[in-house]
Amino acid sequence: QEIRKVVQALEQTAREILTLLQGVHQGPGFQHIPKKCQKAREHFGTVRTQMESLKTKFPADQYYRFHEHWRFVLQRLVFLAAFVVYLESETLVTREAVAEILGIEADRERGFHLDIEDYLSGVLTLASELARLAVNSVTAGDYSRPLRISTFINELDSGFRLLNLKNDSLRKRYDGLKYDVKKIEEVVYDLSIRGLNKEATVGAGGEK
């Protein structure tokens, strides 16, 4: 019961961060990305406090016995942390960096930690969000962003291809990545047909 209470509080904070970050998809949202990321990071301060509370609700060696209680919200928080880091630097957040943002451990031996499969699930959710961002970037007149997202997602896809995914739910999520790659490729192709990718390359200082 006590674990459930803290998890509900975490879910609420995650919803607040998600609502905040969804604003980047709206037309004027692109100008406010740094401000939204800064606000989101403030919310992660609340997440760290809630995580501290969660750690006290069960014996440290029984992490996997209760894992199902917080697995979903943890994956969602990984996605949100990864989205913030991507918006800030257009790089993929490491598992260690996510653990730090959430105030938990990266190593299993050290107690309450970020399970590798929870990290990978969160990253796959990021891919879907970026596919959506690529489409909305075009609507907002930002033609270089989809090209950069395409490069990032293709590198991500290459990384996932190297993994031997045994977990069924993770395997299904990974199958969804193929659709995200295809969706972004269609956006980039559409830009090239309309000659807008040349415009984007010039606007990005000659870089793709």
Helices (H), the chain: 2-22, 33-55, 63-89, 95-102, 116-139, 145-161, 168-193, 196-203
Q: What is each CA distance from 9 to 3, 29, 69, 109, in whole angstroms?
A: 10, 27, 13, 26
- How would DSSP label each residue in 13-74? HHHHHHHHHHGGGSGGGGGGHHHHHHHHHHHHHHHHHHHHHHHTTS-GGGHHHHHHHHHHHH
Compute the residue count for the chain.
208
Q: Is 68 known as a binding-site position?
A: no
For 161, phi then psi, to 5°, come to -65, -25
Binding-site residues for Mg(2+), please? 129
Binding-site residues, please? 129
